[in-house]
Structure 1
Amino acid sequence: MNIVVVGCGRVGSQLATLLSVEGHNVVVIDRDEEAFRRLGSTFNGVTIKGLGFDEEVLEEAGLREADAFAAVTNLDNTNLMAAEVARKLFGVKHVVARLYNPVRERTYQQLNLDYVCGTTLVAETLMEKIKSGHGHHLSTVGDVEVIEFKCSEHADGKRIRDIEIDHGFRIAAVLRGASTFIPKEETVVKSGDIMIAAVKDEAFGKVARYMEE
């Protein structure tokens, strides 16, 4: 398949690399040339610097011959405009847009766009994890990772409040034995507890010591 991807952030770069590895012809568009550094070494497609809704840029990307188009930047307006241009001006049959802010969902629906909302998917998955009390998960929302991990001995005896304040992340739930609960600030962590937490990218290095390998 010939596929054009607009946006080379973490979502776009991973999508483009996966498609390329599967043997598809992939063209990636991003306004920031530095963003292309995120593409893996296995990516063998084409990169173009420019705006994803610019007709000349899309012509250069070969959109008229494309089988599919994905607009996956972290700007909803860009994704909306790019998707509409791909559908209406270039006649691409399969167009998918990323919905970054769930507040804009109604607009996407009114335009009858196929879309994926990472925020909603993560929230729903997190709820299922909390209710079921098992499983491992890693998702991305902007520059925040939603992770599930087992606490190492370094976390044993520490309060939730101390860990969160010192290391810049938020713990949403604790799985201890057969029970799952939402912790309070004074909850004391035990080695072997399983945490579901939201972690900023820059905090991963500090949080890692609390994760059992």
Structure 2
Amino acid sequence: MYVVIMGCGRVGAALAAGLDRLGHEVAVIDRNRQAFRRLSPDFRGKQVVGEGYHREVLVEAGVEGAQAFAAVSSGDNSNIISARVARETFGVDRVVARIYDAKRAAVYERLGIPTVATVPWSTDRFLRMLLPDGVASAWREPTGTVAILALPVHEEWVGHPIRDLEAATGSRVAFIVRFGTGILPGPDTAVQAEDTIYVAAVSGTVSDVTAAAGAPPQEG
């Protein structure tokens, strides 16, 4: 496929190198010609100097024939403007923008521009490495609002239906791994010993969800 990348910083250069290595056609845009020095001498793609949200620069980069566009410069505004131009003006199907401000990322997601919110994503990666298994999230959607985590539960939850666990924790059970196989439970599915239960929860409530699941169920 043909991919246009806006921004030749560390991320842009690494992304361009990976795509080039996999045999894809790549064009990289950056306003600073010196930024292209981050690319390998063996890089086979196109290098375009200019602002990635200017129509003529995008045309020079071949956006009219591109199947994907990635905006990964250091500026949120530049990234989202160029991503919207690629999507709305040139009709590129696959568009993604790197955004540092998580609140902005949520807005742009609603506008139909997939984003990678750098700070929440990085924070989550650190949490997964620092905290015990099952406490940190296994996945977080791009705005960082909803997390999926493997939830350790008190042994007395065995035999109780999933709906009771959801009500006690304020989370939603996404799936269960049981005897090595993933299953999609219904509200009446009973918790079994050795189940690994993955739940979806609002990020700010993860500690409360974990604490509730770690306590025995309240009767009644």
- TM over 0.5, shorter chain: yes
Matched, 1:119 2:119: yes
Q: TM-score, normalised by structure 2?
A: 0.58
Note the alpha carbon deviations across 1:21-51, whole angstroms, 9 max, x for none.
1111100000000100011233211100000
Once the two structures are superposed, the pairs formed by residues 54-203 of structure 1 within 5 Å of their partners are: 54-132=54-132
Q: Which residue of 2 aligns with 1:190?
A: none
Give distance in 1, aligned partners of 2:94 and 2:109: 16
Contact 2:8 2:29 in 1 (8 A): yes
Note the alpha carbon deviations across 1:112-171, whole angstroms, 9 max, x for none.
2111122111101111111138xxxxxxxxxxxxxxxxxxxxxxxxxxxxxxxxxxxxxx
Contact 1:9 1:73 in 2 (8 A): yes
The gaps in structure 1 that reach 5 residues or longer are: 134-213
Give the count of matched residue pairs: 133
Give distance in 1, aligned partners of 2:122 and 2:29: 26
Contact 1:83 1:96 in 2 (8 A): yes
Contact 1:21 1:42 in 2 (8 A): no
The gaps in structure 2 that reach 5 residues or longer are: 134-220
Q: Which residue of 1 aligns with 2:13?
A: 13
3-state SS, counterpart of residue 47 of structure 2: strand
3-state SS, counterpart of residue 12 of structure 2: helix
Q: Which residue of 2 aligns with 1:4?
A: 4
Contact 2:105 2:116 in 1 (8 A): no
Give distance in 2, aligned partners of 1:111 and 1:60: 26
Q: Which runs of 4+ in 1 moved over 4 A?
A: none
Give distance in 2, aligned partners of 1:55 and 1:19: 24
Quote how far apart the aligned CAs of 1:74 are. 1.0
Q: Sequence identity, in percent? A: 44
Contact 2:8 2:36 in 1 (8 A): yes
Matched, 1:44 2:21: no
3-state SS, counterpart of residue 132 of structure 1: coil
Q: Which amino acid in 1 is paired with 2:121?
A: L
Note the alpha carbon deviations across 1:86-135, whole angstroms, 9 max, x for none.
011100011111112224223212312111122111101111111138xx
Give distance in 2, aligned partners of 1:46 and 1:86: 17
Give distance in 1, aligned partners of 2:120 and 2:100: 9
Task: Find the structure with the greater CA-based Rg.
Answer: 2
User: Which moved further from structure 2: 98-107 or 2-11?
Assistant: 98-107
Give distance in 1, aligned partners of 2:72 and 2:108: 14
Q: Which amino acid in 2 is paired with 1:36?
A: F
Quote how far apart the aligned CAs of 1:64 are. 0.8
Give distance in 1, aligned partners of 2:99 and 2:70: 11
User: Which moved further from structure 2: 113-122 or 81-90?
Assistant: 113-122
User: Which moved further from structure 2: 30-39 or 112-121?
Assistant: 112-121
3-state SS, counterpart of residue 97 of structure 1: strand
Q: Which residue of 2 aligns with 1:34?
A: 34
Give distance in 1, aligned partners of 2:29 and 2:36: 9
Q: Which amino acid in 2 is paired with 1:89?
A: T
